[in-house]
Structure formats: C-alpha cells, structure tokens
Amino acid sequence: MQCDPPRIGAHRLKSGTEAERAMTEAEFSQLLSNLSVTAKALNTASDSINDVIKALEAKLRHINLGLEVWCTESFHSKPLLEEDRDGAYQKVGTIDDELGFTNDTGSGDWCLAVRKATYKDSDTGYPEFMSAEVVRPLLQCSRDTRVAALARFSDLVKQMDAEAKEVVGVIERAKKLVVGRDDAPETLDSLPPGVASGNKMLMDTAAQVVRQRRNG
C-alpha cells in the first residue's frame, strides 16, 4: 500500500496563515484601542467647543450691536438643482449653511445660529438671495456643524463690523435729512425733541436697508 508523503509544505502554509491572522487580529485590536483614546479626546474637545461658542456669544452680547448679521461665506454648500424639459437636473444655484448672530425667538436671547440660505445664479454674476430657513442656535446643532462653523467665527465678526459701519452711514445720512443741515448731531440722543424718539425706528430701518442691499 502506497502512502502519500507528509504534506509538510501545506502544514507550513497553514501555520503561516494562522500566524498572519493572529498578527492582523493583534493589529486590529491595537487600532480599536487607538480609536478609543481618540474618541475620548474628541469628546473632550467637543465639550470645549461649546465653551468657545458660549464665550463668543457672551462677548457679542456685551458689545450690544443690536443687529442681525449672517456671514455670507458659508461653511457648507450644496447645489440647488432644477429639472429641465428633458428631465435632467441642472444646477441653478446653491443652498448654503451660514453662520449668523441673531435673536432667538424661543429664548429671546441673542445667539450664534445657523440657517440654510438659498441663492440662485443670475445674469449679473452675483448670486441672488431667494430665502432662508431652518434657523437654529449653534449650540443645538450637531458636532459636525459646530466644528465647521468654528472656521467662520472671524468672518462673522468682520461682517458684523462692516454692516454696523454701513448702518452708521445710513443713519448719518438720515439724520442730515431729518434735521435739514450738514452739521447734524453726533448722536441720535442729541436730536431735537420728538425726532430723538425715532431712534429705535431709525436704527431698525437702517439695518433693514443694509440687509436688502446685501441680499440684492
């Protein structure tokens, strides 16, 4: 009776495969361990994100600008699509996630918030503002959104400063028109009785003019 020789090569191959598998499992276990450490660091960093958001909100409230401002430099954008006659979808604009500073209708407090703004392409080369919705306080947004919004903090502050200066210009021109002379008072409080009482209305009107200009 003829016996087959021992399959030494096959045995070695099997042993080698098991060794490779064991090493891979060890490496995978290490990857999971590394991920766990990273996840803890991320959660700790996420807690600090909320602290940063609250700190900026507190500073902006203290400045007391009193203007609703939205940073037109979005931190996330997706195409706005419309179906043409052939049933194909064409890009006609964008839907942008924008960071802003606004009065929360729920709490009544000024806060950092996020909105979805819709813009349509126009012949002028500048996008036309169509609408905005889903306004939500930044602190209530997902972690991904909060992290992305951090990159627009400085842009928002710059835009707040620019829009405030523009409102000041509108108010100064309105003061000269109301008072009827070039040497209009430096502040609205120093306007004649009756005129000064329109301080808040004049401020709101000026801010509305600025928003209309920016939104086209």
Write the pLDDT tens digit of every residue in 95-137.
999 999 999 888 889 999 999 999 999 888 888 899 998 789 9
Among left, alpha and beta (phi > 0; psi -120 to 50; other), residue 3 is: beta
Q: How far apart (Å, rounded) are the C-alpha atoms in residues 91 and 148?
A: 24
Q: What is the pTM of this model?
A: 0.66
In this prediction, residue 46 carries a pLDDT of 78
Does residue 175 share a domain with residue 77?
yes
With bands split at pLDDT 50, 70 and 90, how would you rate the model's confidence at 74? Answer: very high
In a domain, 83, yes or no: yes
Does residue 42 share a domain with residue 74?
no
Does residue 117 share a domain with residue 42?
no
Most trustworthy range by pLDDT among 22-26, 90-94, 177-181 = 90-94
In a domain, 134, yes or no: yes
Among left, alpha and beta (phi > 0; psi -120 to 50; other), residue 160 is: alpha
In a domain, 1, yes or no: no
The encoded tokens of residue 23 equal 């090493």
The encoded tokens of residue 132 equal 């905005």
Q: Which residue has the tokens 């450490």?
A: 37
The encoded tokens of residue 212 equal 């209309």
**Residue scoring higher pLDDT (180 or 114):** 114
Q: Report yes or no: 156 and 69 within 8 Å, Cβ to Cβ.
A: yes
Does residue 76 share a domain with residue 53?
no
In a domain, 170, yes or no: yes
Task: Return the sign of the alpha-carbon dihedral for residues 86, 89, 90, 95.
Answer: positive
**Residue scoring higher pLDDT (63 or 83):** 63
Host domain of residue 191: 69-215
In this prediction, residue 202 carries a pLDDT of 52
Residues 6+ apart with CB under 8 A from 193: none
Does residue 201 share a domain with residue 104?
yes
In a domain, 3, yes or no: no
With bands split at pLDDT 50, 70 and 90, how would you rate the model's confidence at 5? Answer: low
The CA–CA distances, whole Å, from 216 to 8, 97, 213 equal: 81, 19, 5
In this prediction, residue 86 carries a pLDDT of 82
How many domains is the chain partitioned into structurally?
2
The answer to whether residue 212 scores a pLDDT higher than 70 is no
The answer to whether residue 76 scores a pLDDT higher than 80 is yes
